[in-house]
Amino acid sequence: MKRDIILAGVGGQGILSIAKVIGYAALKRGLFLKQAEVHGMSQRGGDVQSHMRISDKPVYSDLIPRGNADLILSLEPLEALRYLPYLSPGGWIITNSTPFTNIRNYPDIEFILNEIRQVKNYRILDADHIAKETGSSRSVNMVMLGAAAEKLGLSPEFLKEGVRDLFKTKTERIIELNLIAFDKGRMN
């Protein structure tokens, strides 16, 4: 088992929370894991990305070479497009359709989505809308994690344990809302 995963988004969207849940699930399964992350200027809405390499054999490098990612999971469509050169020919791109327009010259959203649709394996979902339906618009990242669960090679139950662990200092209601968001992402 081996998965090279790129998580992409902008500051405040919860990329590192997704990484923590995936890491928890990978370790729970007894897998090896390496992770690298970049979040410079993330407090100001800058890009945040994480390379995650999971395997049943030791992983020696934390960076994924271009053309080798099995999955790009993006919380923002333009960020999905930015990391497209890393995707392997058989890899999947799963992205939220809602743009985070924090720059004046943000490209036309239809152009971006059409570029993503050129990829062999893609999934685009309106995670913002789904999160609002669950009663927690802040759970977009958990919706996206649920949407990608099948492609991670990890048990959904381990991922849910990771969600519980991530929010263990919060109220039971917040944990429940995030688990609902995760399940909604899996179903959509």
Pairing of strands 32-38, 69-74: unpaired
Asked if 60 contacts 29 with a C-beta cutoff of 8 angstroms, the reply is: no
**What does the pLDDT read at residue 102?**
81
Return the structure tokens found at 63: 């960076």
**Tens place of pLDDT per residue across the chain (188 aa):** 999 999 999 988 999 999 999 999 999 999 999 999 887 665 666 889 999 999 999 999 999 999 999 999 999 999 999 999 999 999 999 999 999 988 889 999 999 999 999 999 999 999 999 999 999 999 999 999 999 999 999 999 999 999 999 999 999 999 999 999 999 999 97
**What does the pLDDT read at residue 74?**
98
Asked if 31 contacts 13 with a C-beta cutoff of 8 angstroms, the reply is: no
**What does the pLDDT read at residue 57?**
97
Full-model pTM: 0.94
**What does the pLDDT read at residue 24?**
96
Backbone angles phi, psi at 50, to 5 degrees: -135, 135
Question: Would you give the distance in Å from CA 4 to the centre of its chain?
Answer: 12
Instruction: Please name which of 56, 66, 74 lies closest in space to residue 9, comparing C-alpha atoms.
Output: 74
Asked if 8 contacts 41 with a C-beta cutoff of 8 angstroms, the reply is: no
**What does the pLDDT read at residue 78?**
95
Instruction: Please name which of 15, 9, 17, 37 lies closest in space to residue 102, comparing C-alpha atoms.
Output: 9
Please measure the distance between the N-terminal and C-terminal CA atoms of the chain and give it in whole angstroms: 26
